[in-house]
Amino acid sequence: MSCSSRASSRPQHVQVITSDGRVLLGTLKGLDQTTNLVLAGAKEREFSPLGSKDIALGLYIVRGDTIAVVGEIDPQLDAQIEWETTGAEPLVSIARQFQ
């Protein structure tokens, strides 16, 4: 994978939702023509009705064909949310919805 460097000098903190319902957060370090992403300091946010937890992943590559949504996030605002006590149902896999 040959990654292009981003033109912006400020770090882009992103949230990625995959087609299997995973929620990944990290700093975008690179991408290629097939939308494969390289995330630094990546973590997966797992949701449950009782609360959410973050699982550290480190440097992480997300395959472009598994990405449903990518959005920029504000890490300061994200840190203000009490995720441990914020309950939510896990996202349903997009693939399972169309079977």
Structure tokens at 17: 């939702």
pTM higher than the cut 0.75: yes
Assess contact for 63 and 16: CB atoms under 8 A: no
Q: What pLDDT is stored for residue 92 in this prediction?
A: 78
Backbone angles phi, psi at 49, to 5 degrees: -60, -20
Q: Which helix (H) or strand (E) holds 34?
A: none
Q: How confident is the model over 27-86, as pLDDT tens digits?
A: 999 999 999 999 999 999 999 888 899 999 999 999 999 999 999 999 999 999 898 888
pLDDT of 16 higher than 60: yes
Confidence of residue 88 (pLDDT cuts 50, 70, 90): confident
Domains of the chain with CATH codes: 1-7+27-75 (2.30.30.100)
Q: How confident is the model over 22-36, as pLDDT tens digits?
A: 999 999 999 999 999
3-state helix, strand, coil in the chain (%, to 5): 15, 45, 35
Query: What's the Cα-to-Cα distance from 50 to each of 21, 23, 30, 53, 85, rounded to whole Å?
Result: 18, 17, 34, 10, 7
